[in-house]
Amino acid sequence: MNTTIGWEFYRSFLGVLKEGSLSGAARALGITQPTAGRHIAALEQALGVALFTRSQVGLMPTEIALALRPYAEAMESTAASLERTASSHGEGVRGVVRVSASDVIGVEVLPPVIARLRDRHPDLKVELVLTDRIHDLLRREADIAVRMMRPDQGQLVARRIGQIELGLHARKDYLARHGEPRTVAELASHSVIGYDQPSAFVRKTEKSVHGFSRDMFSLRTDNNLAQLALIRGGAGIGFCQVPIARRDDSLARVLARKFSLQLETWVTMHEDLRNSPRCRTTFDALVEGLQQYVA
Amino acid sequence: MNTTIGWEFYRSFLGVLKEGSLSGAARALGITQPTAGRHIAALEQALGVALFTRSQVGLMPTEIALALRPYAEAMESTAASLERTASSHGEGVRGVVRVSASDVIGVEVLPPVIARLRDRHPDLKVELVLTDRIHDLLRREADIAVRMMRPDQGQLVARRIGQIELGLHARKDYLARHGEPRTVAELASHSVIGYDQPSAFVRKTEKSVHGFSRDMFSLRTDNNLAQLALIRGGAGIGFCQVPIARRDDSLARVLARKFSLQLETWVTMHEDLRNSPRCRTTFDALVEGLQQYVA
DNA sequence: TACCTGCTATACATTTATGCATGAACACGA
DNA sequence: TCGTGTTCATGCATAAATGTATAGCAGGTA
């Protein structure tokens, strides 16, 4: 049961998976290429499986290596999480807290919230992970997450913020030049900014708004920040969060009655962290800041 | 962000926490005491916190060390889980699968199920973890768990087996000697086998059965197997699973109408393991075996 | 073709970590 | 009170892991 495989090997293994080569992993991990190679060789022997097929251009992971990757990643996030916990030792709110949020929230909403938080607690360091992927709190990839859906898992402390409304917007001068669409059908003659890959969002909208389809998008990107920037740049009509648009006088809402989607917003945290001052304080600050944003 | 703390140190750290001393950890890990000491010293310096207070009788963990322990344990179970996954590589059902269950189920019900499973798949090794503690599948402490409650967490493959009935039983010769109780009140003059620490089970029973209280227990143990053994040994009247008692002609049920508790039984597995032959096969075998047991 | 840049693999020197032996401090029991 | 069995800490020799340097191969580019 108590095997003797060094945990260091798993680090190198993960490094090679991430970088695609022994040399790259060595650079990333601060070791040398022969050492990385030896680690992989030792791990392969210990596990009794071939993890990579070697070539002169790098190392190709085998099927097994890909299957093992999530475990190595879990170990990595756990180690990082351990270090964050250790960093918070001492009086008051201090250490490193890791917050996950969508890119739009992270760029448009959180900065002042975090600034105020850091103002009050200078010893607190904040790591911001901006991704739409549901960062699994249970796997310790982040301490706190701002999510656009109700958390379905137990073991989480969750606070509902409310609903953020999503609507179609455009620059006023764009509308002045191209006219303002009064019906869904009229959208077809406009530059509509939307998603590239068909997403859950698109499917939901297609169901709720009659006459709407993905084909209407003439400017397509999956990057929400780029969509927002395109709207602000006057490139066309696109979706953005209503509270964000309201802050900008040059933006106007379009077809408000037809297009209105509500995003359930939650702040979540692993319940183990409830008694950690750094996480508790950050959690409360995020809840407060987001509530103000929604209101 | 990419820190440079060696993962090996966390192993030694966990070893010292488990064993309570450098020497003990060294023995357990197959290293020497000076090495273990150096690992702890290096880790303390790297984290910048004191993990243990040294003494000649061993090392006392500090508060921080205790807070960090769950993380180290998570890394350990993840590493073990990785090795199990690697062990299953190859054709057919092979490798190591780790099953968690309560001690009673593990001792009374699973052996023939596992025997049949291993008969069909000789390359499959089975680790049986018998504990009442909810082994967290999400933390990879086991691959598959037999639980007596509905799983509340997502990300799990769960199959409901049905309800296992729990009732009062005693040996027939005990009842012949002491008489069979006809009412709850009459139990007071009997040797009732029950729990030492007040458990959720007791509270539930006290609510559902009028006149019942923990004070009635004159033989107390928290070990379910010991309770079962006491019943079989004719020491008194106690709770056990009805299907188990039915297999034994010398046992009789007591106050069947008054005392009947249903245990929701589920077999659960992490959804990532659904496509792993060793886990899938074991899961199916457990479901089948338990369904037969319940029926 | 020749050259550059990336990669892996190997041979050898060196640093690093480990093990061994020992000493000192404490707890427990005769 | 004195031995016995723990423990942790330290100095030193050794083994083990690492780094350095180099060779060899593949792919792209002038």
Mean pLDDT across the stretch A152-156? 77
> Within an 8 Å CB–CB cutoff, is residue A11 touching chain B?
yes
Q: Does residue B2 surpass a pLDDT of 70?
A: no
Report the residue from A7, A78, A86 with minimal CB separation from B11.
A7
**CA distance to B103, B146, B191, B225, B227, per residue, from B230 (Å):** 15, 24, 10, 9, 5
Find the distance separating the first CA and the last CA of chain B, reported in whole Å.
Answer: 55
Residue B1: per-residue pLDDT: 41
Chain B residues 12-51 with Cβ under 7 Å of strand D are 21-24, 33-34, 37
Residue spans in chain B of domains classed CATH 3.40.190.10: 85-160+265-294, 164-263
The answer to whether residues A40 and A54 touch, using CB atoms and an 8 Å cutoff, is no
pLDDT, residue A3, reads 61
Q: Tell me what the mean pLDDT of segment B170-194 comes to.
A: 91
Q: How many residues does chain A have?
A: 295
Give bridge partners of residue B144 from the DSSP assignment.
B99, B269
Q: What is the pLDDT of residue B125?
A: 95
Q: Give Cα separations from A133 to A137, A146, A200, A242, B153 (angstroms).
A: 12, 11, 13, 22, 19
**Measured CA distances, B62 to A104, B51, B59, B213 (Å):** 41, 5, 9, 40
Question: At residue A30, does pLDDT exceed 80?
Answer: yes
A8 CA to D25 C1' in angstroms comes to 30
What pLDDT does residue A110 have? 96
Which CA-bearing residue is nearest the C1' of D24? A56
Class of the B164-263 domain? alpha beta
Inform me whether the C-beta atom of residue B47 falls under 8 Å from chain A C-beta atoms: yes
Question: Which member of A85, A127, A153 has the closest CB to residue B155?
Answer: A153
pLDDT of res. B210? 74
Does the beta carbon of A140 lie under 8 angstroms from any beta carbon of chain B?
Answer: yes
pLDDT of residue B58: 86
B8 sits within 7 Å of strand C by its CB: yes
Residue A99 has pLDDT above 70, yes or no: yes
Rounded Cα distance between A153 and B153, Å, is 5
pLDDT band at A200 (very low <50, low <70, confident <90, very high): confident
Provide DSSP, A180-205.
---STGGGGGS-EEE-SS--HHHHHH
Q: What is the mean pLDDT of chain B?
A: 91
Out of A78-92, B9-23, B129-143, least confident range: B129-143
Measure, in angstroms, how far nucleotide D9 C1' is from residue B40 CA: 14
- Report which of residues B133 and A191 the model is more confident about: A191
End-to-end CA distance of chain A: 55
Task: Indicate the residue of A2, A11, A49 with minimum beta-carbon distance to B7.
Answer: A11
Bases of chain C with protein Cβ within 7 A: 6-11, 17-21, 24-27
- C-alpha torsion A39→A45→A49→A50, nearest 10: 50
Asked if A4 CB < 7 A from strand C, the reply is: no
Q: Please check the confidence at residue A1 and state whether its pLDDT lies above 50.
A: no
CA distance A142 to A225: 22
Write the pLDDT tens digit of every residue in A126-146: 999 998 877 778 889 999 999
Tell me: the pLDDT tens digits for B217-253? 889 998 999 999 999 999 999 999 999 999 999 999 9
Q: In CATH, what is the architecture of A7-79?
A: Orthogonal Bundle (1.10)
The confidence score (pLDDT) of residue A278 equals 96
Task: Confirm whether any atom of chain C, the nucleic acid strand, is less than 7 Å from CB of B32.
Answer: yes
Which residue intervals of chain A bear CATH 1.10.10.10?
Answer: 7-79
CB contact under 8 A, A5 and B79: yes
Q: What letter would DSSP give residue B197? A: S
Pairing, β B95-101 against β B124-130:
parallel
pLDDT, tens only, B52-99: 998 878 899 999 999 999 999 999 999 999 999 999 988 889 999 999
Q: Which nucleotide is nearest to A25 if distance is taken from CA to C1'?
A: C7
Please, what CATH class does the domain formed by A85-162+264-294 belong to? Answer: alpha beta
Contact in structure between B74 and B82 (CB atoms under 8 Å)? no
CA dihedral A126, A127, A130, A133 (to 10 degrees): -120
Tokens of B133: 């503690």
The percentage of residues in chain B with a pLDDT greater than 90, rounded to a whole number, is 73
Residue to substitute from B14, B89, B274, interface A, most A β-carbons within 10 A? B89
Name the residue with the least CA to C1' distance from nucleotide C27: B57
Using the Cβ of A94 and the Cβ atoms of chain B, whether some distance falls under 8 Å is answered with no
Question: A91 in contact with B at a CB cutoff of 8 Å?
Answer: no
CA of B82 to C1' of C12 (A): 36
According to CATH, where is 3.40.190.10 located in chain A? 85-162+264-294, 164-263
**Range B7-78: architecture per CATH:** Orthogonal Bundle (1.10)
- One of 3.30.70.520, 3.30.200.20, 3.40.190.10, 1.10.260.40 is the CATH number of B85-160+265-294, namely 3.40.190.10
Residues on chain A touching B140 (C-beta within 8 angstroms): 71, 74
Å between CA of B22 and C1' of C23: 18
Interchain contact, A28 vs B85, CB within 8 Å? no
Quote the CA–CA distance of A74 and B19 in Å, as a whole number: 25
Are the C-beta atoms of A239 and A227 separated by less than 8 Å? yes
Locate A113 and state its tokens: 């919230």
Q: Measured between alpha carbons, how far is residue B235 from residues B103, B176, B177, B192, B221 in Å?
A: 20, 13, 11, 9, 13
